[in-house]
Amino acid sequence: METDGTYESGDTRGGAVPRPAGPPKGATAPEVPPARRVGPGLPSVPPLPPRAPAPATAHPFSPVAEWLDAPRPEAALGIWRFRYLPPPAEATRIRPITLLGMLVPLLVGLFIWLAYRNDNLPYAATVMRTFTPNDWWTGFGATAKDWQGVAVHAIFDAIVFFGLVWVVGSLGSWGRIIGFYLARRRPPVRAALTALGALAGLAAVLPEALHLGWSAVPVVNPILYLIALVTGGWHIAGSPIVIYAVYVLGAALVIWPCAKIGGWETLYRQWRSGGAPEAPDPAAPSGPGVPRSQWPELRAAGAHRAADVLTGELAAGRMNDADCARLRRVWQAGERDAGRRAAFVEALVRQGAAADTHPSGDRDLPSRSAVHDLLEGQVRVGRWVAAERGSRSYHDAGLALGPELLGTSLLAVGPSGSGKTRSLVAPVVESLCLQALTGACAVVAVGSAGAQLGPDAAYDVVIRLGDPASRYDLDLYAGATDPDEAAACLAEGLVGDMEGMETRRAATVLAQLLGPYRVAYGRFPTVPVLRELLEARPETLRALLDLLPADGAQAMRRELESRLRQVGTTNDLGPVLADRLAALDRPIFAEFFGGAEEPRSFSLRSAAQHPMRVRISLPEGGHEEAARLLNRLLLAQFQHITRGGAGRGNFAFLVLDDAAGAVTPGALRALQRLRTQNSGVVLALRTLAEVPEALHGPLLATVGCRMAFSGLPTWDGRAFADAWGTERVEMTEVAHHTVFADQPMTRAIHALRKLVTGKAVTTEAVTVREVERQRWSASDLAHAVPPGHAVLSLSHVRGEQVPPMLVDLRG
C-alpha cells in the first residue's frame, strides 16, 4: 500500500500503533476555526479539523482498524497480550529404557508363542483335555481323533494368542506409546498411519480373502470352529452366509480400533461439511464474530448510526488508538446509566471520534518512545528471558505493565546507568499519560529537571520548582482547608525521616500555628512566614494572637496560647521544624509555595479528582536536601488526597523517578492502603541505603512489584532475596564409588580395565531429593544479572502473583 508516511510505524517489534494525524492523501484541508480555551489556567489548544464524510465500512488496510481487530488472548500476568502466541508444548521424548521395556515383553511373548506352536509348552495338552471329553483325543496326548479335537485346538490357539497379546501390550505399554507417537501427528497423517495399520491387521487376519500366501492369525477360524461345536456340526458353520459374516466380524475387530485411534469419524464429518481440518489458532480473538473495528457493542445496543460514523472515522484515518480506547471506556462506563449512554451516542453522531475528549482537548501525545496497547492498558518494557528459573509460558514473551499491576505499587532499585528511567520509568509515565487521555487514570510524575520523562507538551500541568519561568506553582498544603490535615502532610515532609522524631508531635506544633494564621488571614502562611512563626519569637506569636477575634475563635486562641507556653522549653520542636523548613526558604524558591504576587498554585488534590497529567520538576545542583524534602512532602500529600478513592472511577499514580529520602515509617503505613484506594506509586532508588535500614524489609513486603536491576550491591541483593523467599526443587546428586574386588580374577580384570581406560572401576550412586533454596540469592542478583536486564516479580490487585524472573529490558 502506498502511503505518505502517515500510516507507517517505526516500531520494529510489531507492536507500535500508527497514529493518523490528518485527512487522507489528496483531501483538501478544511478551514480551521480559531483556538479555544479548555479551562481556567490551562493553555489553549488548536481544535481538530472538521470531519469530512466518511464511508460506512473500514478499509481493510486501515492500520488502526487492524490494530483494533488484532487478537489479544488471555495470558499470564505481565505478558504482552497483543498478538500473543503461547509457546508450543514442550517436545517430549520417550527414553530408551521405555523402548526397551516395550520390546522385552514382545520377545518373551514371541518365545512363548513359538514354544506353544511347537508343542513345547508344558501342560497345554492337560488343560485342553481337562475341559473336553476324552473320546475326542487319541491316547494320553493332545492328538485330535476327529474334527472336534481340531476345533478345540483352534479355539485354544485363539485364547493363548489373545492372552499373550494382552499381556505383552500391558507390560510393554504399547497402547500408551502408540498413542504418544500418533498424538504428535496432524489428523490426516494420523488417519493415514492408522489406515496402514488396519491394512496390516487385515492381511494378518484374512490372508485367504486377500489371496495372500501365509497362515492367518487365530481369529476367524476359531470363531467358525466354535459355531460348529455349539451347533454340533458344519451344517450352519459351513454356510456361506455365516462364513462371510465371520469374515466381516474379523475385519471389524481390526478396523474399528484403528478408526477410533485415527479419528476417522472426525475427518469424515469435516469432509462432508466441505471444510478442511485446521489446527486451532491459540491467538484467535474470543467473543462475537464481528470485528472490533465494526463497533459491535454499539450495534448490539441499536446505535447503528454511531457505529457507522466511527467505522468511517477509522477508514478515513481520523482515529488513533487513544480515541478507540477512550470511546470504548466511556461506553462501558455508561452501562448502568441509560441517559448517559444516549447522550454519548448523540455526541458520537455529531462529533465522531472527537466526542468526549480529554478536558485539555488533546487526543494523543506529541511523541511516543514506547510500544503501547491502550485497549488492554499495557506498555511493553521488554521481554521475559527463557531461563531455567522462569515458567515456560513466559519464555521469550513480551513484558508488559498495566494499571492492574502498578496498582500494587512498584519498587525499582538499581545503580545509576542501569536503565531505571530509560527502560522503566519513562515508558510507564508515557503509558499513564496516554491512559489519562482516555480518562482511565491520573498521573503525577516527579523527577529532576534533567530526567527524560517526556516533553512538556505531553502534560497538562508542568511545575518547575526553582525556575522563574515556571507557569505553575506547587501548593504546599495540597489544597487542604483543615489545619490538622495540612499540618500532618507538612510534618511528614519536614521530619518524617528523622529518627526518634514523632511526626505526631511535629504535626501538633504546626497545627497550632496554621489554624490561627488561617483564621487571621484567610489562608495558610508562606514558607518565610511559617519559618518565622516556628522560630518561636514571642512578639511574633503575640502579634498573631492579637489578630484573632475575641469571639468565635476561642479554640484557635487556645491553640496559639499553648504554643506560646512551649516556646523556649527543652521539648520545643519549633526550632527543629524551622531548621528543616529553611531548605525551602531560599532565594531560588522565593516565587514558589505561595510567595508569588500572582496566584498560580496547583494543588495535587486536583490530580486525584480528574484524569490529569502533571509533571513536577525538582531542583538540582546544591538543593539535594530540598529535593528530598519535597519528595517526602509529595508522597505524603498523594497518600492523603487519595484516601477514600475506592469508589473513584479512575486510578491515580505517583511516579518518583528518584525516591531518595521519600520512604518514611509514616509513608510506609499509608502505602499499605493505596491498593484498596485505586492508587499506586512507582519508586525508583539507586540503592536501598537511601531508605532507613529498619524499613528495608517492610518496604519490600509492602510493594507488590519488585524490580532489581543489574549491578545491584550484595547487601541490597540480600534484602531482595529475603523478600522473594525460597522454593522447593528436586536436586539430583551422583556419587562415584570405587569398586574393591575380593577375588583374584576380579582384581585382575579391574586392573586390566584400568590399564586400558585409565580410570578406576566405579559404581554410580544417584540420589534424588527435594531441597529448599532461595529463588534468587544475593550473589546471583549482584553478579548473574547481565547489563540491560533485571529480575522482576509482579502482583495483581486481585492478589495473583508472579515469582521473580529474569527480564531483558532491551527486547
Concatenated DSSP letters of 448-509: ETT-----GGG-SEEEETT-TT-S-EE-TTTT--SHHHHHHHHHHHHHTTSTT--HHHHHHH
> Would you tell me how many other CB atoms lie within 10 Å of the CB of residue 427?
22
Here the cell at position 413 is 532499585
Contact 420, 53 (CB under 8 A): no
CA separation for the pair 268, 280 (Å, rounded) = 18
pTM exceeds 0.75 for this model: no
Q: At 45, is the secondary structure helix, strand, or coil?
A: strand
Q: Is residue 605 part of a domain?
A: no
In angstroms, the Cα distances linking 782 to 238, 293, 680 are 87, 48, 28
Task: Show Cβ contacts of residue 231 under 8 Å, excluding neighbours closer than 6 positions.
Answer: 237
CA separation for the pair 204, 146 (Å, rounded) = 27
Angle of CA points 216, 217, 223, to nearest 5°: 95
Residue 766 belongs to what domain range?
723-808
In angstroms, the Cα distances linking 502 to 494, 575, 639 are 11, 15, 18
Last residue of a domain, one of 273, 295, 325: 273
Residues 112 and 258 in one domain: yes
pLDDT per residue as tens digits for the range 209-267:
777 777 888 888 888 888 888 888 888 878 888 888 888 888 888 888 888 888 888 88
pLDDT at 411: 95
CA separation for the pair 749, 146 (Å, rounded) = 62
pLDDT < 70 regions, the chain: 1-61, 89-98, 140-142, 274-289, 595-599, 645-649
Q: Is residue 408 part of a domain?
A: no
CA separation for the pair 496, 487 (Å, rounded) = 12
Looking at the DSSP assignment, which residues form a beta bridge with residue 461?
614
Residues 106 and 250 in one domain: yes
For 79, which DSSP code? B
Last residue of a domain, one of 573, 599, 625: 599
CA separation for the pair 307, 557 (Å, rounded) = 64
Q: Is residue 563 part of a domain?
A: yes
CA separation for the pair 783, 742 (Å, rounded) = 50
CA pseudo-torsion sign 143, 147, 148, 150: positive
Of 343, 428, 413, 338, nearest in space to 381 by CA:
428
CA pseudo-torsion sign 433, 437, 441, 442: positive
Of 266, 303, 308, 257, nearest in space to 55 by CA:
308
3-state SS, one letter per residue, for 426-442: HHHHHHHHHHHHCCCEE
Q: Is residue 542 part of a domain?
A: yes
How buried is residue 146: exposed, middle or buried, by Cβ count under 10 Å (0-12/13-18/19+)?
exposed
Contact 619, 449 (CB under 8 A): yes
Q: Is residue 663 part of a domain?
A: no
pLDDT at 29: 33
Give helix 240-262 / helix 187-205 axis angle, nearest 10°: 150
b/e 79-118 (16+ beta carbons within 10 angstroms → b): bbbbebeeeeeeeeeeeeeeeeebeebeeebeebbeebee
CA separation for the pair 358, 632 (Å, rounded) = 30
H helix intervals, 548-618: 554-566, 574-581, 605-609
CA separation for the pair 513, 541 (Å, rounded) = 9
Total domains present in the chain: 3
Strands 473-474 and 601-602: parallel
In angstroms, the Cα distances linking 208 to 174, 213, 236, 247, 368 are 28, 7, 21, 10, 78
Angle of CA points 688, 693, 698, to nearest 5°: 85
Strands (DSSP E) contained in 592-698 are: 601-602, 613-618, 651-656, 679-685
CA separation for the pair 82, 386 (Å, rounded) = 19
642: left (phi > 0), else alpha (psi -120 to 50), else beta?
alpha
Q: Is residue 266 part of a domain?
A: yes
In angstroms, the Cα distances linking 250 to 316, 359, 776 are 68, 80, 63
Residues 595 and 730 in one domain: no
Here the cell at position 321 is 488508538
CA pseudo-torsion sign 50, 55, 56, 59: negative
Last residue of a domain, one of 231, 248, 273: 273
b/e 524-540 (16+ beta carbons within 10 angstroms → b): bbbbbbbbbbbbbeeee
Rg (CA), the chain: 41
Of 187, 397, 391, 178, nearest in space to 282 by CA:
397
Q: At 796, is the secondary structure helix, strand, or coil?
A: coil
Task: Show Cβ contacts of residue 410 under 8 Å, excluding neighbours closer than 6 positions.
Answer: 401, 428, 680, 681, 682, 683, 703, 704, 705, 706, 707
Of 414, 385, 417, nearest in space to 398 by CA:
385
In angstroms, the Cα distances linking 140 to 136, 153, 190 are 11, 15, 52
> Would you tell me how many other CB atoms lie within 10 Å of the CB of residue 460?
28
Residue whose C-alpha cell reads 509492602 in the numeric block? 702
Contact 123, 160 (CB under 8 A): no
Of 565, 569, 573, nearest in space to 510 by CA:
573
Residue whose C-alpha cell reads 492508587 in the numeric block? 679
Here the cell at position 565 is 507556653
Contact 405, 800 (CB under 8 A): no
Q: Is residue 152 part of a domain?
A: yes
CA separation for the pair 507, 513 (Å, rounded) = 10
Q: Is residue 160 part of a domain?
A: yes
Residues 262 and 124 in one domain: yes
